[in-house]
Amino acid sequence: MFHHVKELQFNARVSKPDVRFAKLLLEQFGGPNGELKAAMQYFVQAFGCRKAYPAEYDMLMDIATEEFSHLEIVGATIQMLLTGVNGELKNAADESDLNQMLDGNAAKENYIHEAMINPQFFLVSGGTPTLTDSVGNPWNASYIMGMGDLTADLRLNVGAETSAKMVYENLMKYTDDVYVKESLRYLMTREVAHFQMFQAALENIKPNFPPGILESDPRYSNKYFKMSKGDEFKGPWNEGKSPELGEDWQVINNPLDHIHETNGLLDEKSVGTNRTEKSVQENNKKLSEERKGIVDAATMPKNGVMSWSVYEEGLEENTVLGKINK
């Protein structure tokens, strides 16, 4: 159940109209890294958590709802930046008013040029925000990413917040309006906050690596294939221990020779790790049973009835069963 409150979450303000920046800001309204994408991604991901992971469900729904609030802030800011355009487009009887608003014929020609790049923004929307990116590509559900596994989804969300933060950071370079910058900085900051929330939720799930259920093959999980020739660079990605599994990195300096020597890696041996094929299969089975048990216990019907929400303990179940018995 959603309840709309007319006041914005943040008091968005604009000092003057700016049609060009309004068009740029569409990137966060209907773009692939925008607020609608984030809201819908977290909203969809939450369904799989409702029973099995109720705390994470609450978090995903809370953040998804806040993202809708951010979409409202962006839309309101775009509308304020278009102040004058909407009204003048309604003045169909006298084109001179639009020409005057655009400060002469040269400005009007530029307006037409902008319309040719993104015609819907001016010709179809009538001076209101559109669910497109800054160059007119319509919002697309393919922007939404979700794997149905909580640890994988949380990692996807950390990436989504990172991308959105960077877009706001870049947008701030293209406006001199201190009030608009104020709103953009607020929105950028909330992306950082959400990043931390998703990261904390991920760390709260044990084990959380690798994403999903099945462990990786210990023959290949700590191999670093040196695929380039030139300067030698070392770092925590190819020396010392791997950050998640704690295995010793094994550098393959001559990948082609190694492939030939190991029969296309079929004869590869586990080196630098305590994991074995036996321990991997045992852990796979153990975690599979554990995760299945959590989901089944939370989602299996009780007395033949499945209910998404329980408004009062036992009331809904008794009412439905009573109707069935009648």
We report the CATH number of the domain holding residue 43 as 1.20.1260.10
Asked whether residue 98 is assigned to any structural domain, the reply reads no
| Whole-number pLDDT of residue 238 | 96
Residue 242: pLDDT over 70 = yes
Which DSSP string corresponds to 26-89?
THHHHSTTSHHHHHHHHHHHHGGGTTT-HHHHHHHHHHHHHHHHHHHHHHHHHHHHTTTHHHHH
Q: Which two structure tokens, joined as six digits, stand for 18?
A: 């700016």
Residue 126, helix vs strand vs coil = coil
| Whole-number pLDDT of residue 88 | 57
Asked whether residue 78 is assigned to any structural domain, the reply reads yes
- How many whole angstroms separate alpha carbon 111 and alpha carbon 60? 41
Asked whether residue 66 is assigned to any structural domain, the reply reads yes
Of 282, 248, 280, 250, nearest in space to 268 by CA: 250
Beta-carbon count within 10 A of 175 CB: 19
Strands (E), the chain: 223-225, 250-252
Asked whether residue 195 is assigned to any structural domain, the reply reads yes
Q: Are residues 269 and 283 in the same domain?
A: no
Chain segment 282-293, per-residue pLDDT in tens? 999 999 999 999
| Whole-number pLDDT of residue 231 | 87
pLDDT band at residue 303 using 50, 70 and 90 as cut-offs: confident
Domain boundary among 177, 203, 229: 203
* Exposure letters 282-311 (e unless 16+ CB within 10 A, then b): eeeeeeeeeeeeeeeeeeeeeeeeeeeeee
Domain boundary among 232, 255, 274: 274
- Looking at per-residue confidence, does 278 or 88 come out higher? 278
Q: Which two structure tokens, joined as six digits, stand for 182?
A: 């104020």
Chain segment 188-209, per-residue pLDDT in tens? 999 999 999 999 999 999 999 9
Give the count of domains, the chain.
Answer: 3
Chain segment 85-140, per-residue pLDDT in tens? 655 555 555 554 445 455 555 555 565 555 545 656 665 666 788 899 988 899 99
- Looking at per-residue confidence, does 307 or 224 come out higher? 224
- Can you give the residue range of the structural domain that contains 294? 279-325
Of 199, 201, 200, 210, nearest in space to 159 by CA: 199
Chain segment 33-84, per-residue pLDDT in tens? 999 999 999 999 999 999 999 999 999 999 999 999 999 999 999 999 988 7
Across 16-30, 119-133, 249-263, least confident range: 119-133
Asked whether residue 222 is assigned to any structural domain, the reply reads yes
Q: Are residues 166 and 198 in the same domain?
A: yes
Q: Are residues 132 and 194 in the same domain?
A: yes
Q: Are residues 268 and 289 in the same domain?
A: no
Q: Are residues 31 and 142 in the same domain?
A: yes
| Whole-number pLDDT of residue 96 | 45
Residue 317: pLDDT over 50 = no
Beta-carbon count within 10 A of 162 CB: 13
Q: Are residues 270 and 295 in the same domain?
A: no
pLDDT band at residue 316 using 50, 70 and 90 as cut-offs: very low
Q: Are residues 159 and 285 in the same domain?
A: no
Q: Which two structure tokens, joined as six digits, stand for 53?
A: 């992971």
Q: Are residues 198 and 303 in the same domain?
A: no
Asked whether residue 164 is assigned to any structural domain, the reply reads yes
Q: Are residues 253 and 183 in the same domain?
A: no
Residue 173: pLDDT over 70 = yes
Residue 146: pLDDT over 70 = yes
pLDDT > 90 in the chain, percent: 72
Q: How far, CA to CA in Å, does 161 sit from each of 27, 61, 95, 195, 294? A: 14, 15, 44, 6, 29
Asked whether residue 177 is assigned to any structural domain, the reply reads yes
Domain boundary among 180, 203, 226: 203
Q: Are residues 166 and 179 in the same domain?
A: yes
Of 146, 148, 190, nearest in space to 168 by CA: 190
Asked whether residue 40 is assigned to any structural domain, the reply reads yes
| Whole-number pLDDT of residue 326 | 41
